[in-house]
Amino acid sequence: MKTTLEEMQVFVAVIDTGSLTAAAQSLTLTVSAASRTLARLEDKLQTTLLRRTTRRLELTEEGAAFLAHARAILDAADAAEEQMAARRMRPAGRLRVDAATPFMLHVLVPLLAGFRERYPDVELELNSNEGITDLIEKRTDVALRIGVLKDSTLHARLLGTSRIRVLAGPGYLARHGAPGEPGELAGHVLLGFNQPETLNDWPLRDVDGSTLRIRPSIASSSGETLRHMALADLGIVCLSDFMTGADRAEGRLVQLFAEQTLEVLQPINAVYYRNTALAARITCFVNHVAAMLGQPPLGS
């Protein structure tokens, strides 16, 4: 008997998710059904694809060889379906999008209703990561990245920019007072990033004329975490406008050094691989976000 696409999908899903249970959930199957499908595939191929232990699943040499073919076949099937959908001007298929949590919450989520209304056949899968994601390893179609991009083999499209500002909550300023000069920041609680260090370059002049790099009193990998700490009056922070516009408008956060702040605009890019013709679902998503963000700097 020939192997089926369903059997390959279960096998690939087990590898991508790391467990049979997670694979079953991602495919909306029961664990027993996924297990039977995997067993049926191994029986058809007359080989063991996965070694099962009490703690994890491991690919056999034969499984690794079959995995490459299975991925190619599934990708080809997706491409064929998408070409048919494109003929009807309706992009379709799974679209995996990656973005840092703050950008996902404050920018992308509000845009999704409009996107879903225009492209109902595109199945969105949204993942949040604070670091740089390997698009191939994580099976990601497009990532939204904030800041200057490093050289890479990725294709990038600039979608917009967002200004950064130094901010604090009214409660913190009432207790500790507002610093009058950037040099006074050393006597305050500073909220910053633990990585990369360049995110701790604040848009102020240091005594030597360079951009001020602060040493955080409290550090986090997440800008959203830093925002919530600032809202809780724990210290002074520097964040991008796209995530603080409403906080500033409603007085929950107050800008410091307004006249001394340099205009530093963080670029917002969509990045993706472009080894072949770009999938219609990626194109329509990037175009939709670009249309929404192709305005003055976000949150200004």
- pLDDT tens digits for range 137-195: 567 889 898 888 775 667 888 998 999 999 999 999 999 999 999 989 999 999 999 98
**CA distance readout (Å), 246 to 124, 249, 266, 298:** 27, 5, 18, 11
Q: What is the pTM of this model?
A: 0.68
**What is the spatial distance between Cα 161 and Cα 264, in angstroms, rounded to a whole number?**
9
Return d(Cα 200, Cα 147) in angstroms, integer: 13
* Cα–Cα dist 199/38, whole Å: 46
The first and second tokens of residue 233, run together, are: 């009056």
Band (282; pLDDT cuts 50, 70, 90): confident
- What tokens were used for 200? 């701790």
Angle at 280 between CA 275 and CA 283, to 5 degrees: 80
Residue with the larger pLDDT of the pair 90 and 23: 23
